[in-house]
Amino acid sequence: MKDGPDIARIASLIGDPARANILSALMGGVALTAAELAGEAGVTPQTASSHLAKLEEGGLVVPRRQGRHKYFALASDEVAGLLEGLAGLAAHRGHTRTRRGPRDAAMRHARVCYNHLAGDLAVQMFDSLVAEGALDLDHGITLTPKGEAVMAGLGVDLATLRAGRPALVRECLDWSERRSHLGGSLGRALFGRFLELGWVRREEGSRVVRFTGEGLRRFNAAFPRALEAA
């Protein structure tokens, strides 16, 4: 009865409300200090410290010391993807427990998934890249030469990206759209570029991403929404 890997261990890690809040906060993509996370989770610093130690031990978050601060971030894209999946199931059979306010609609439209863009617009971008042949899905998922040109046009420096170890491109599943969007280091770089270009602004203390009017126009021009297959 104890076949595969120990899924109960990590599931129980996420199963505590305080830890779930911590992880949700880290889904914002920015590294946060232990004290900040304590605030997010609504517990005292001692308790948060204990939780963070467990999350670290479990491989869900990674610490980074800086001076007398200790910053935490999600350990990997896979952790982020798993949390998205959980959110999807919870939302799906939510019994309308989570009343969907305006914040919720904004989240579905565009939000940050750990370090890249997610939501309706992210799916649009992914589909557009595939449709114009920038991404190749035949064996795994790879960036085509044409895709490299597209990225260069947007000002994404691929050379330094390739130096990093994490996979350049990776697909990530949306809980709202239930469709793939672009993750990996390329996804992160693109989102960073959107910020630099002023296309988007992050909403403080939330995962919501707001497009400026001009930014949305340029985004739609760069990644036109493809026609749905009949």
Partner DNA sequence: TTCATACTTCGATGAAGGTCGAACCATCAT
Partner DNA sequence: ATGATGGTTCGACCTTCATCGAAGTATGAA
Kindly list the residues in this chain that would bind DNA in the complex (CB under 7 A). 12, 16-18, 33-35, 43-47, 49-54, 63, 67-70
* Among 45, 47, 50, 59, contact with a second copy (rule: CB under 8 A): 59
CB of 82 to a second copy, least distance (A): 5
Q: Backbone dihedral region of 184: left (phi > 0), alpha (psi from -120 to 50 degrees) or beta?
A: left
| CB 138 within 8 Å of CB 168 | no
Residues 6 to 25 in contact with a second copy, rule: CB under 8 A: 6-17, 19-21, 23-25
Please state the closest distance from residue 223 (CB atom) to a second copy, in A. Answer: 13
φ and ψ of 131, to 5 deg? -65, -35
* CA distances for 180 relative to 40, 48, 146, 194, 214, angstroms: 29, 33, 20, 20, 26
Q: Does 99 bind a second copy (CB under 8 A)?
A: no
Q: Interface with a second copy includes 106 (CB under 8 A)? A: no
Q: Binding of a second copy at residue 52 (CB under 8 A)?
A: no
State the minimum distance, in angstroms, from the CB of residue 198 to a second copy.
Answer: 25
Q: Report which DSSP code applies to 208.
A: B
Kindly list the distances between the CA atom of residue 18 and the CA atoms of 33, 47, 58, 101, 201, in Å, as whole numbers in the listed order.
15, 9, 15, 23, 28
The binder of 213, among a second copy, DNA, none, by C-beta within 5 to 8 A per type, is none
Q: Is 179 in the site for a second copy (CB under 8 A)?
A: yes
Q: How far is the CB of 26 from DNA (least distance, A)?
A: 14
- Residue 147's binding partner, choosing from a second copy, DNA, none, with beta-carbon cut-off 5 to 8 A by kind? none
**DSSP-assigned letter for residue 227:** P
- Least Cβ distance, residue 72 to DNA (angstroms): 9
76 in the Ramachandran plot: left (φ > 0), alpha (ψ -120 to 50) or beta? beta
Determine if 58 is a binding residue for a second copy (CB under 8 A): yes
User: Collapsing DSSP states into helix, strand and coil, what is residue 166?
Assistant: coil
